Amino acid sequence: MAKKRLFIGTLTTVSGIEAVKERIELLGILGKWVEKENIHFTYRFLGDIEEERIPQIKQMLKNKLKGITAPMVTYKGLDVFPNLKSPRVLWIGMKSEEIEEVKRKIDQALMPFGFSPEKIFKPHLTLLRIKKLRHATKFKSYLFQMKEHFFDKKVEQKVCLIESKLTSKGPIYKVLEEIILD
């Protein structure tokens, strides 16, 4: 039975990423940057899904998201996961009133497929997977400066069911379904 590795998210672009990239590289931080065309935020990671279930998931998402207001998103602040002592992922924060409602509807759409609603939803844009940190103090200082930095504000109308193929060069994303919110 063939399966596809899927997630529900929004591919997007945000201004100011190039400046962050230049600064991080000056700080001698090594890692893998997310390719420009792969920058996204994730509503829900689904994992490996049987191909014959995909049309049902698409339909359920379309039904649940009908008439939902597209979220106005403010992209603000740089931070890391899991913490400053051991940073592994550099990301841009997201603030939005409406995004929680979109997430709730997505969780409802997935319940018939055995997915329980997630307790914690922390929308963010992953920029860099950190491999090596050369100047930890300077990096922390830069993050502190960028904690409230405003990157962008825009309406994110698309919710996509995306296939993620993992390759040695990084993931390849393919949009299987695109739903446009009101």
Nearest partner of 181 among 64, 44, 96, judged by Cα: 64
91, 127 contact by CB (below 8 A): yes
Burial class, 97, CB count within 10 angstroms (exposed 0-12 / middle 13-18 / buried 19+): exposed
Number of neighbours of residue 167 by Cβ within 10 angstroms = 7
Q: Can you name the CATH fold of 3-180?
A: Cyclic Phosphodiesterase; Chain: A, (3.90.1140)
List of residues 6+ apart from 59 with CB closer than 8 A: none
Catalytic residues: 40, 124
Query: What are the pLDDT tens digits along the chain (182 aa)?
Result: 899 999 999 999 999 999 999 999 999 899 999 999 999 999 999 999 999 999 999 999 999 999 999 999 999 999 999 999 999 999 999 999 999 999 999 999 999 999 999 999 999 999 999 999 888 899 999 999 999 999 999 999 999 999 999 998 889 999 999 999 99
- Please, are residues 127 and 149 in contact by the beta-carbon 8 Å criterion? no
Q: Where are the domains of the chain?
A: 3-180
DSSP-assigned letters across all residues of 76-110: EEEEEES-SSS--EEEEEEE-STHHHHHHHHHHHH
